[in-house]
Amino acid sequence: MDALTLLRQSPVMPVIVVNDAAVAVDLARALVAGGIRTLEITLRTKAALAAMRRIRDEVPDALVGAGTVRTRAHLEAALDAGAQFGLSPGLTPELAAAARASGVPFIPGVATASEAMHAQDEGFNILKLFPAEAVGGIKLLKALAGPLPELRFCPTGGIDASNAPAYLAQPNVLAVGGSWLTPADALAAQDWARITQLAREASALAVR
């Protein structure tokens, strides 16, 4: 699977912060039940790697990946935990080399035209626009479409149910990332029915 195929699995990729690996399987099953298969577990907590491993072992319908991958060591640890793809807030030469060698889809983050051109030079045409709303959002995506027509994006950062449809309507957007599918209070209450409903609503969003 490549990054293009990965992002075409679901219009929304949930950005998930897991503080307790024990809930990872139920969470993943709730999202998959709502039609969301691609799950980004951010490497922001000590539980992240264990959560990835549990999902990979017990939820075969899910595609689980690592977010906030900033170094070669991060990527290697995520792959050891069963990650099937990776995303980063940015891109360094070392990380680019590790990502190319990994054999899994990798989506680096960019915030400017120069960063997008650098990522393209490193071999990446599917990029994460991050932090999307803070750096210009839809206006920036429209501006990039002319000079960089080959690039496609997964905008993340400041996106929720209210503005996701406008992002998904852009021709150079394949999917969006957001944390609204897994709100902290629903996770704390283990309200899987609510998360399934949020996933169902997200999976119904149209992609141009």
Positions marked catalytic = 40, 128
CB 108 within 8 A of CB 95: yes
Alpha-carbon gap, residue 205 to 190, rounded angstroms: 25
Which residues neighbour 182 within 8 Å (Cβ) at sequence distance 6 or greater? 14, 15, 16, 17, 27, 31, 195, 198
Strands (E), the chain: 12-16, 38-42, 63-67, 86-87, 106-107, 109-110, 126-129, 152-153, 176-178
Query: Using CA atoms in the order 141, 145, 151, 153, what is the torsion angle rounded to 10 degrees?
Result: 20
Length of the chain in terms of residues written: 208
> Going by C-beta distance under 8 Å and a sequence separation of 6 or more, which residues neighbour residue 174?
4, 7, 8, 126, 152, 153, 154, 207
